[in-house]
């Protein structure tokens, strides 16, 4: 027998062995749901985490005073009831009785006060101390009563408390001082939520078990496994082959194919945590340039006429069709349509109209005097050539960059597109104001306060205001809405603010993207795919689902 036939035999044997063993390698783990996602938490420590994946896990393992529901409202979580003093500055919360941590120790008001004071006392926590900024003091009056004193009445206390996770004092106490809190690994992640940590392998998977003694609605499944599959196409393939039961994100190009696959359902909707994609226009006035900042923005962008022309020259629907393959709606302001009731439904967008855009520019004196296809500024004669930056980690920005460059070229505006590392882009952006236009976006909070703050004058020197926009009327309304406790009055103020920034064309918001997720129907049923907001990996969804044999497929 020749050497080659031996080699062929060997290859065949290895292939057969692999096939024989392969079938059992990813067998479903009991009634544990397997979720595939492209990311993974950066840390198990809620004090220092910045990635949204980490907050998804914290939301399952820890409890908070309020919980964010899938209709965007807040329900009572740990709190059984609460009262506010007449001036709204003293809030008294009574906790539910019989709540325990996963290690069996009771959760008391002292744990709540400890956690809130921990967040408040550490300026070096990236996110969570922003929710305690208005806390004057937090005390435990007894085992079940927490008293929060505020520096001023707040319009949005629910959204402030919904992310303040209650940590066990008996575990965190020794790590509370100085840098120890931030450096604490917290790999065991002992919380009190509906799921408890069983296994944490950073960048690989997280295995959570159901807390069958949970004090609210208990999970009907045995647990959840979040598996990191870094490549989006591989993520889709993992769902197809049954290696995971659900995936949290899908590239738009895979949507049509997955939709036709038997046993797989697609869910599309407004994301629970909507993200806003925006086109930033640098309009910082020279007198407002923060000290030490470059402020090199093109002066023409300070002119509302030019910004208005750019808005009319942007075909948002085409961007949605090409970049998102239709899975989005045209945007208006930084407050996305998913942020009801804060999203202003009265606003009318500037329609895509090249003739109108050209007319606006002609009337404002921007003419192409040298016939090179690019208009020049009246007076200085500086051509309308803008640096167009985009973050290198964005999947939508490259397509958007090409499209807006083409669109704006038709109104005599030229762009010089450049992809930049996100951190380098932040360094160029704000408060340096060393850019003309950036294609970027924000992650949003369930409350509009943070996004509205991105256009307030106070935040120009801190870098929170990235466009350099400044309007005293807007600033006044921003301060009023932050303390307005009447929901209806606050909504009116927030709507008015959106009208102002839309009128002034502070940003061009090309779209609000839809969330697209997919799940298999063979192992689990009862998916919350039709909820007003979509997040199949969040607490409310995971508590609702049942093993397929017990539920309705």
Partner 1 sequence: MTHCRFLLGKAGGALFTVGFVLVLNFFLFRILPGDPARAGVRDPRLTQESQVAIQARFGLDKPVINGIERVNPLRLGSFTVNPLDTQFFIYLRNLLQGDLGISYHRNRPVTELLKERLGNTVLLVGSGQILALLIGIALGAVAAWKSRTAIDYGALVGSLVAWSMPTFWLGMVLLFWGSRWLGLPIGGMITPGATFANPWDARMDVVLHMVLPVLTQTIVYVAEYVLIMRTTMLDVLSEDYILTAKAKGLSTFQILKDHALKNAALPIVTIVALNLGFTVAGAIQVEIVYSWPGLGQAIYESVVRRDYPMLQGAFLLLAVSVVFTNLLADLLYSYLDPRVRTA
Contact between 230 and partner 1 by CB under 8 A: the answer reads yes
User: Closest CB to partner 1 among 199 and 499?
Assistant: 199
State in angstroms the smallest separation of the CB of 491 from partner 1: 20
User: Closest CB to partner 1 among 215 and 442?
Assistant: 442
Contact between 223 and partner 1 by CB under 8 A: the answer reads yes
Contact between 12 and partner 1 by CB under 8 A: the answer reads no
Contact between 458 and partner 1 by CB under 8 A: the answer reads no
Instruction: Please count the other Cβ atoms lying within 10 Å of the Cβ belonging to residue 53.
Output: 19
Hey, which residues between 480 and 509 contact partner 1 (CB under 8 A)?
none
Contact between 26 and partner 1 by CB under 8 A: the answer reads yes
**Residue 383 pairs with which residues in a beta bridge?**
376
- Using CB under 8 A as the binding criterion, the count of chain residues that bind partner 1 stands at 74
Phi, psi (rounded to 5 degrees) for 342:
-80, -25
Residue 359 token pair: 């007319």
SS3 content of the chain, % helix, strand, coil (to 5): 30, 20, 45
**Residue 223 pairs with which residues in a beta bridge?**
32, 209
For residues 524 and 184, what is the distance between their CA atoms, to the nearest angstrom? Answer: 36
Place of tokens 């996110």: 127
Hey, which residues between 236 and 275 contact partner 1 (CB under 8 A)?
237-238, 240-241, 243
Contact between 228 and partner 1 by CB under 8 A: the answer reads yes
Contact between 55 and partner 1 by CB under 8 A: the answer reads no
Hey, which residues between 111 and 130 contact partner 1 (CB under 8 A)?
122-127, 129-130
User: Closest CB to partner 1 among 465 and 517?
Assistant: 465
Spatial neighbors of 362 by CB under 8 A, at least 6 apart, are none
Contact between 50 and partner 1 by CB under 8 A: the answer reads yes
Q: Are 531 and 267 in contact (CB under 8 A)?
A: no
Contact between 136 and partner 1 by CB under 8 A: the answer reads no
Spatial neighbors of 82 by CB under 8 A, at least 6 apart, are 76, 91, 92, 93, 94
Smallest Cα–Cα separation from 333: which of 503, 192, 154, 205?
503
For residues 261 and 268, what is the distance between their CA atoms, to the nearest angstrom? Answer: 16
Contact between 185 and partner 1 by CB under 8 A: the answer reads yes
State in angstroms the smallest separation of the CB of 464 from partner 1: 6
Contact between 421 and partner 1 by CB under 8 A: the answer reads yes
State in angstroms the smallest separation of the CB of 373 from partner 1: 33
**Residue 417 pairs with which residues in a beta bridge?**
388
Kind and range of the H or E element at 163? none
User: Closest CB to partner 1 among 27 and 355?
Assistant: 27
User: Closest CB to partner 1 among 72 and 448?
Assistant: 448
User: Closest CB to partner 1 among 109 and 400?
Assistant: 400
For residues 336 and 409, what is the distance between their CA atoms, to the nearest angstrom? Answer: 28
Q: Is the dihedral of CA 484, 485, 489, 493 positive or negative?
A: positive
| Interface residue with partner 1, options 73, 179, 370, 395 (CB under 8 A) | 179
User: Closest CB to partner 1 among 108 and 155?
Assistant: 155
State in angstroms the smallest separation of the CB of 169 from partner 1: 21
For residues 424 and 70, what is the distance between their CA atoms, to the nearest angstrom? Answer: 36
- Which among 19-27, 69-77, 336-344, 350-358 is the span making contact with partner 1, rule CB under 8 A? 19-27
Contact between 29 and partner 1 by CB under 8 A: the answer reads yes
State in angstroms the smallest separation of the CB of 411 from partner 1: 29
Q: Are 511 and 331 in contact (CB under 8 A)?
A: yes
| Interface residue with partner 1, options 78, 157, 364, 454 (CB under 8 A) | 454
User: Closest CB to partner 1 among 180 and 256?
Assistant: 180
Contact between 177 and partner 1 by CB under 8 A: the answer reads no
For residues 437 and 483, what is the distance between their CA atoms, to the nearest angstrom? Answer: 33
Residue 202 token pair: 């950073």
For residues 118 and 278, what is the distance between their CA atoms, to the nearest angstrom? Answer: 35
State in angstroms the smallest separation of the CB of 429 from partner 1: 9
User: Closest CB to partner 1 among 179 and 549?
Assistant: 179
**Residue 95 pairs with which residues in a beta bridge?**
79
Contact between 422 and partner 1 by CB under 8 A: the answer reads yes
> What burial class does residue 465 get, using C-beta atoms within 10 Å of its C-beta: 0-12 exposed, 13-18 middle, 19+ buried?
buried
Contact between 464 and partner 1 by CB under 8 A: the answer reads yes
Question: How big is the chain by its Cα radius of gyration, in Å?
Answer: 26
Hey, which residues between 383 and 402 contact partner 1 (CB under 8 A)?
393
User: Closest CB to partner 1 among 358 and 517?
Assistant: 517
- Which among 72-80, 325-333, 453-461, 488-496 is the span making contact with partner 1, rule CB under 8 A? 453-461
User: Closest CB to partner 1 among 139 and 275?
Assistant: 275
């Amino acid at each position: 027998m020749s050497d080659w036939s031996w080699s062929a035999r060997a290859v065949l044997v290895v292939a057969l062995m692999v096939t024989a063993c392969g079938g059992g390698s990813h067998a479903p783990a009991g009634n544990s749901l397997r979720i595939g996602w492209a990311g993974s938490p950066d840390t198990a420590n809620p004090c220092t985490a910045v990635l949204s994946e980490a907050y998804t896990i914290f939301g399952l393992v820890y409890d908070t005073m309020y919980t964010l529901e899938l209709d965007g409202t807040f329900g009572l979580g740990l709190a059984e009831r609460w009262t506010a003093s007449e001036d709204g500055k003293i809030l008294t919360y009574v906790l539910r009785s019989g709540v325990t941590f996963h290690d069996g120790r009771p959760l008391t008001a002292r744990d709540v006060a400890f956690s809130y004071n921990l967040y408040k006392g550490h300026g070096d926590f990236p996110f969570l101390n922003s929710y305690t900024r208005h806390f004057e003091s937090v005390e435990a009056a007894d085992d079940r009563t927490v008293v929060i004193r505020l520096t001023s009445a707040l319009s949005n206390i629910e959204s402030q408390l919904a992310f303040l996770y209650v940590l066990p004092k008996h575990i965190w106490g020794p790590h509370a001082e100085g840098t120890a809190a931030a450096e604490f690994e917290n790999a065991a992640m002992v919380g009190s939520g509906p799921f408890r940590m069983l296994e944490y392998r950073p960048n690989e998977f997280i295995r959570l078990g159901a807390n069958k003694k949970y004090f609210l609605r208990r999970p009907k499944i045995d647990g959840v496994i979040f598996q990191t599959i870094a490549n989006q196409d591989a993520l889709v393939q993992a769902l197809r082959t049954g290696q995971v039961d659900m995936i949290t994100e899908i590239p738009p190009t895979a949507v049509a194919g997955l939709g036709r696959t038997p046993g797989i359902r697609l869910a599309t909707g407004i994301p629970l945590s909507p993200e806003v994609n925006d086109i930033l226009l640098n309009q910082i006035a020279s007198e407002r340039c923060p000290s030490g900042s470059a402020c090199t923005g093109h002066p023409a962008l300070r002119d509302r006429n030019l910004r208005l022309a750019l808005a009319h020259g942007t075909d948002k629907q085409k961007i949605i069709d090409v970049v998102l393959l239709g899975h989005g709606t045209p945007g208006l302001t930084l407050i996305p349509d998913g942020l009801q009731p804060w999203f202003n439904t009265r606003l009318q967008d500037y329609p895509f109209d090249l003739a109108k855009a050209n007319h606006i520019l002609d009337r404002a004196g921007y003419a192409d005097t040298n016939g090179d296809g690019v208009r020049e500024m009246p007076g200085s004669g500086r051509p309308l050539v803008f640096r167009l930056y985009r973050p290198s980690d964005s999947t939508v920005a490259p397509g958007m960059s090409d499209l807006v460059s083409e669109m704006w070229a038709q109104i005599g505006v030229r762009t010089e597109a450049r992809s930049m590392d996100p951190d380098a882009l932040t360094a160029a952006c704000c408060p340096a104001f060393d850019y003309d236009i950036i294609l970027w976006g924000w992650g949003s909070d369930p409350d509009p306060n943070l996004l509205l703050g991105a256009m307030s004058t106070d935040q120009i020197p801190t870098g929170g205001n990235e466009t350099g926009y400044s309007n005293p009327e807007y600033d006044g309304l921003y301060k009023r809405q932050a303390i307005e406790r009447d929901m209806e009055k606050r909504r009116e103020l927030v709507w008015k603010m959106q009208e102002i920034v839309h009128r002034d064309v502070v940003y061009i918001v090309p779209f609000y993207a839809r969330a697209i997720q997919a799940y298999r129907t063979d192992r689990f049923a009862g998916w919350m795919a039709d909820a007003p907001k979509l997040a199949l990996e969040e607490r409310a969804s995971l508590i609702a689902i049942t093993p397929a044999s017990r539920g309705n497929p």
